[in-house]
Structure 1
Amino acid sequence: MKISAYSHMLVSDHAGWDELRTRHPTRRDTFFKLVLPLSILPTLMIGWAGMSHGSFYAPSVSLNYWVITALVFFAAELITVRGMAWVIDLLSRPLVGHSDQDSSYLLATLAAVPLWLSSLTLFVPVVAFNLLCGVLGLAIACMLLYHGIPAMLGHPRDEDTRDMTWLTMWIGAGAWAILGVIAALPVIIR
């Protein structure tokens, strides 16, 4: 898939999605090509923010605590992607009548990409900006789920698909909130 197709996936049930359905990458390929490299990005950014701007975010917290927070966040990311894939797969079974764990994992991964990229805002030590970009990343993730669920399931957009999509978005937003709390632990405990 071309990176340029990614922006079209935000507004279409077919552009980019049809190619992914045809290719059907395995969970293993998705993990090593997307999940692992992109999960490292927020981990590094949390560590970097603690090292470079730790005194701004949480003046009394040591660098060791930032590193521990980054590592816990990394583990939580990996668990969250797998958990969201499980949720998508579980909710989709009644609609399509079978399990497609590879597609569910890919969809959970693609929805997480804007959230991983929003961690780059930690280069700028402005909490309001960091939060705004995190919420923007969540909105983009929801757009990807909205178009990706019917596209990857090969199921038309009907009332059942919409219900599944909204439930998946709410669960994903909850997972994002938990990850946000983990990332903010040094700020919270200061």
Structure 2
Amino acid sequence: MSILSYPKMVFSNDGWPELENRHLSLIRFFGLVVFPLALLPPAMLYYAGSHYGDLFVAGFGSKPWGTIAAIFYLEEIITVLIMGWLIREVAEWYGLRPSNTDAFMLAGIAPIPMWLSSLSLLVPNLAVDAGIALLALAAGCGLLYNGICAFCRTRDEVSAVGMTQIVMSAGAFFWALLLVLVVTL
């Protein structure tokens, strides 16, 4: 599978069959994709918070960014696991039967744009960072929708949109929890 296939996966079904045919184990997938990419947001939070946190919000420069980063990473991994379970449950509710591997792989693929968007924290500009995060959220939504169509083997757009809405709503809830962590610690 070419690295050029990944951006296409946001907007179409291109790339999904190749990914499914690779037959990666979940342990290998998490080790190669989820664990390393999920490190980006905590690392960037630590960097931005400790170097120019007060530019974002007064008093953020003195927060315990090492502790926040560690808890943030743990919460991200737990969220991916919960989302994998949720994708499988919602799919079954819609009468679809994705494999556990497919559901958990999709849960690990959908947040990749959001994880990568954390690199925008290298720019100490809240408007730029928020804009990039919103674009990443839209890309994650596209990945989730097209992944549901591919992994759940459905052409029913209404079901795929409904599943995407449910899973994205849960994802937004967990994202809000992560943001509350940053603000309250």
TM-score computed with the length of structure 1 as normaliser: 0.88
**2:9 corresponds to which residue?**
9
Q: How many angstroms apart in 1 are the aligned matches of 2:22 and 2:28?
A: 11
Partner of 1:91: 90
- Is the 2:98–2:151 contact (alpha carbons within 8 Å) kept by the matching residues of 1? no
Which structure 2 residues correspond to residues 61-140 of structure 1 after superposition, within 5 A? 61=60, 65-95=64-94, 98=97, 100-140=99-139
Runs of 5+ in structure 1 lacking a partner? none
Distance 1:129 1:97 in 2: 39
Residue identity matched to 2:65 = W
Structure 2, unpaired ranges of 5+:
none
CA contact (8 A) 2:56 2:124 kept: yes
Query: For residue 171 of structure 2, what is the aligned residue in structure 1?
Result: 172
Q: CA deviation at 1:5?
A: 0.3
Query: For each residue in 1:131-180, what CA deviation from the matched residue of structure 2 results, as whole angstroms up to 9, or x when unmatched?
Result: 11111111110011111101011222243333222211222222222223
Alignment-mate amino acid for residue 34 of structure 1: V
Q: Aligned-residue CA RMSD in angstroms? A: 2.0
Equivalent residues of 2:50, 2:62 under 8 A apart: yes
Question: 1:30 — aligned with what?
Answer: 29
Q: Can you list the C-alpha shifts for 1:76-96, whole angstroms capped at 9, x where unaligned? A: 111111111111011112445
- 8 Å CA contact 2:9–2:146 kept in 1: the answer is yes
Supply the AA of the counterpart residue of 2:86.
Answer: V
Residue in 2 aligned with 1:43? 42
Do the aligned residues in 2 keep the contact of 1:27 with 1:101 (CA within 8 Å)? Answer: no
Q: Which residue of 1 aligns with 2:180?
A: 181
Aligned length: 185
Q: Alignment partner of 1:107: what SS?
A: helix
Give the percent of matched residue pairs that are identical in Structure 1 and Structure 2: 34
User: In structure 1, what is the Cα distance between the partners aligned to 2:104 and 2:113?
Assistant: 16
